[in-house]
Amino acid sequence: MNRKLLNILGACLLCSVPAFADGPKPPSELSDPVALLLLAVIGGLLLVIGILGNAVTGAVDIFREKMKNDTAKTIVVMIGMISIALISSSPAFGQDAAPVASAYFTRLSQPSFYLLISIIALELCVIIALLFVLRFLVGIRRKRKPAAETVPGTPRISWLEKLNKTRTLDAASETEEDMGHDFDGIHELNNPTPPWWKWGFIFSVCFGVVYFWRTEISQSAPNQLQELAMAEEKAAVAREEYLKNAANNIDENNVKLLEDPNDLAAGQKLFVSSCAPCHGPQGQGVVGPNLTDDYWLHGGKINEVFKTIKYGVPDKGMKSWQEDFSPKQLAQLASFIKSIHGTNPPNQKDPQGAKE
């Protein structure tokens, strides 16, 4: 029976492997550490299913005569056996589920990965069903100690003590747990490590071995430095996107004076190409007013200069530039105009407006 199951499992895995393309032979999926681990789990569960199946078969033979006259029990057993048959014959779980992207840590294709996981889940369900049927056949019942048999004065064991496998000690029981090491009147008692701590340590060691194999030997997954580099790359992309969006949210209410040389150089290019015909290449004023003195027609603060450039002054022939430049470019242009204040270029136009 186990050989047939192994043959079926091998056939399913072969069917799930994608067809080989022309050219270099791709690495086999069965050489992946995750595939080997899953196959090992599947093999171990198959062995457990075989042992439990034999035990259930023997229990059925032993209790067959006992249950002949007990119709209710016979029906329950039949229901249990039918449930096992239905679970065993049901399709692998997750085949109808929506496809999910394969994990990055394995070379297994998506069908192979979820097929192995489904087989393990199916085997676990079969094992649970076998245990329930075997428990019923053998007649295992939880033995509860009657209240009358409880020894008076016995301390009640809490769930925490059961979890840690510890017990409250009194003066009499401390002698039994004494390790024989005394120092300055302090006695060392037997205080073993809790089981959950031991299993956690074993799991961490196994996890460390698998992690080291995957990241440093097989290199099927990124190590910590590679993960840090990928995270920094994603953060840089997100930062650029944020700055791009933030740059387009500048208006006359939140504009700030830019002092970065790159921003001022970009503003100078915009000024020379678009503003110099009216204000002069150095801002000394031609048709438009002088932009280097202390006098301003519409305000000399950074937000006022930004607003004047953005909406223009149609009454005096200055167009609105908000359709030509982005908010970032408008802020660069306004900052450049503020930077040429007091440069005193030659051929300055007479002052216009109010002094600020």
- Asked if 308 contacts 231 with a C-beta cutoff of 8 angstroms, the reply is no
- What are the structure tokens assigned to 343, written together? 């440069």
pLDDT by 10s per residue, the chain, length 356: 445 544 554 554 444 444 444 444 555 666 677 778 888 888 888 888 888 887 777 766 666 655 555 544 555 555 555 555 555 444 443 334 333 334 445 666 777 778 888 898 898 888 888 888 777 766 644 444 444 444 555 556 667 777 777 766 666 667 777 777 778 878 787 777 888 888 899 999 999 999 999 888 888 888 899 999 999 999 999 988 877 776 677 888 888 899 999 999 999 999 999 998 889 888 888 888 999 898 999 888 999 999 999 999 988 889 999 889 988 899 999 999 999 988 888 888 888 888 87
- What are the structure tokens assigned to 8, written together? 């079926």
- Asked if 274 contacts 321 with a C-beta cutoff of 8 angstroms, the reply is yes
- Say if residue 97 is exposed, middle or buried (CB neighbours under 10 Å; 0-12, 13-18, 19+): exposed
According to the model, what pLDDT value does residue 145 have?
45
- Asked if 123 contacts 151 with a C-beta cutoff of 8 angstroms, the reply is no
Give exposure, 11-39, as e/b (b: 16+ Cβ within 10 Å): ebbeebeeeeeeeeeeeebeebbbbeebb
According to the model, what pLDDT value does residue 10 have?
53
Q: Is residue 168 part of a domain?
A: no
Q: Is residue 346 part of a domain?
A: yes
- Say if residue 193 is exposed, middle or buried (CB neighbours under 10 Å; 0-12, 13-18, 19+): exposed
- Asked if 345 contacts 292 with a C-beta cutoff of 8 angstroms, the reply is yes
- Whole-structure pTM over 0.85, yes or no? no
According to the model, what pLDDT value does residue 228 have?
94
Q: Is residue 314 part of a domain?
A: yes
Where is the domain boundary, 138, 169, 189?
138
Q: Which residues are within 8 A (CB) of 274 and not within 5 positions of it... i.e. 6 or more apart?
A: 321, 324
One-letter identity of residue 94: G
According to the model, what pLDDT value does residue 205 have?
93
- What are the structure tokens assigned to 158, written together? 């809490």
**Number of domains, the chain:** 2
CATH label of the domain that carries residue 324? 1.10.760.10
Give the residue among 256, 221, 350 at the shortest CA–CA distance from 295. 350
- Asked if 35 contacts 116 with a C-beta cutoff of 8 angstroms, the reply is yes
According to the model, what pLDDT value does residue 170 have?
67
Domain extent at residue 306: 261-355
- Asked if 327 contacts 249 with a C-beta cutoff of 8 angstroms, the reply is yes
According to the model, what pLDDT value does residue 201 have?
92
Q: Is residue 221 part of a domain?
A: no
Kindly give the interhelix angle for 327-339 and 261-270, rounded to the nearest 10 degrees: 100
According to the model, what pLDDT value does residue 203 have?
92
According to the model, what pLDDT value does residue 106 have?
61
Q: Is residue 71 part of a domain?
A: yes
Q: Is residue 162 part of a domain?
A: no
Where is the domain boundary, 89, 116, 138?
138
- What are the structure tokens assigned to 131, written together? 């245990």
According to the model, what pLDDT value does residue 251 have?
85
Q: Is residue 230 part of a domain?
A: no
- Asked if 330 contacts 322 with a C-beta cutoff of 8 angstroms, the reply is yes
- What are the structure tokens assigned to 96, written together? 């109808």
- Asked if 283 contacts 292 with a C-beta cutoff of 8 angstroms, the reply is yes
Kindly give the interhelix angle for 2-16 and 33-63, rounded to the nearest 10 degrees: 150
Q: Is residue 276 part of a domain?
A: yes
Where is the domain boundary, 138, 156, 190?
138
